[in-house]
Structure 1
Amino acid sequence: MTAPSDNDYAPTSRHSLDTVFELLADAQRRAVLQYFTTQDTDVAELTELAAHVHGEINKDSSQQRVQLTLCQIHLPKLAEHGVIEYDQRSQTVRYRGGATVEALLTITMCFETPVR
């Protein structure tokens, strides 16, 4: 089996459809991925992502708390499955998503109701 290319995240690759759904099951991870699909960049600083997630879904927590949760839980999980690259030293994130992730993210966004 050949390794998938950087932007090939099809369920027939080394990741199952179940894994994609697991990654999209958390609102903070969806917000991180949504940031990249709506911006004209595939690289972001951790502080930018934390501000986005805080503004989208975690208004009750501080932005620092959101940033801590991202770097301890959500970014490592996304990186483990190859959806992003997370450099802890420089605190930068590079998006590596793909068509399947983006298609399913779009579908989930259609069903989410914003809490404002």
Structure 2
Amino acid sequence: MLAVLADQQRRRILQHLETSFDDRVSVSRLARAVAEMSTTTKTGDKVERAAIRLRHVHLPKLAEAGLVDYDPNSRSVRYRQCADAEAVLQIASDRFK
């Protein structure tokens, strides 16, 4: 779990999902949220690049670690609450403010 949470982008994804009011979030909606957090790419490319990285890198890793339910067919994501992950996210949040 620590290896998965070592990536700043995955921590941001989980923090976004944790604070979402919806039980399930579409990958496209999550990609827009991730793109808004990013400052490294041009505006037009942000959402598309974020969606690609979510589908092919971040969501499969988070699902494998048991932190999200990811359905590639419906392209939806559900956060799975995990006390250990939330503790790590809180420590990282406090540490890197």
- What TM bracket, shorter-length normalisation? 0.7 to 0.9
Instruction: Give 1:40 deviation, angstroms.
Output: 2.2
Secondary structure at the residue paired with 1:82? coil
For 2:63, the aligned partner's letter is A
Does the CA-based 8 Å contact 1:76-1:86 persist in structure 2? Answer: yes
The alignment's TM-score, normalised by the length of structure 1, stands at: 0.73
> Which whole-Å CA distance do the structure 2 matches of 1:43 and 1:33 have between them?
13
Q: Which has the higher helix share?
A: 2
Q: How does 1:99-110 map to 2 (within 5 A)?
A: 99-110=83-94
> Which whole-Å CA distance do the structure 1 matches of 2:69 and 2:56 have between them?
14
Runs of 4+ in 1 over 4 A off after TM superposition: none
Q: Deviations over 1:24-65 (max 9, x none)?
A: 111221111001222223311001111111111355152101
Equivalent residue, structure 1, for 2:34: 53
Equivalent residue, structure 2, for 1:69: 53
> Which whole-Å CA distance do the structure 2 matches of 1:111 and 1:57 have between them?
20
Equivalent residue, structure 1, for 2:2: 21
Larger Rg: 1
Does the CA-based 8 Å contact 2:18-2:79 persist in structure 1? Answer: no
Instruction: Report how many aligned residue pairs link the two structures.
Output: 94
- CA distance 1:58–1:89, shift in 2 (3 Å): farther
Equivalent residue, structure 1, for 2:81: 97
Among 65, 68, 77, the alignment partner of 1:81 is 65
- CA distance 1:46–1:58, shift in 2 (3 Å): farther
- Structure 2 unaligned runs (5+)? none
| Cα-Cα RMSD | 1.6
Moved more, 65-74 or 53-62: 53-62
Secondary structure at the residue paired with 1:62? helix
> Which whole-Å CA distance do the structure 1 matches of 2:65 and 2:91 have between them?
20
- Structure 1 unaligned runs (5+)? 1-19
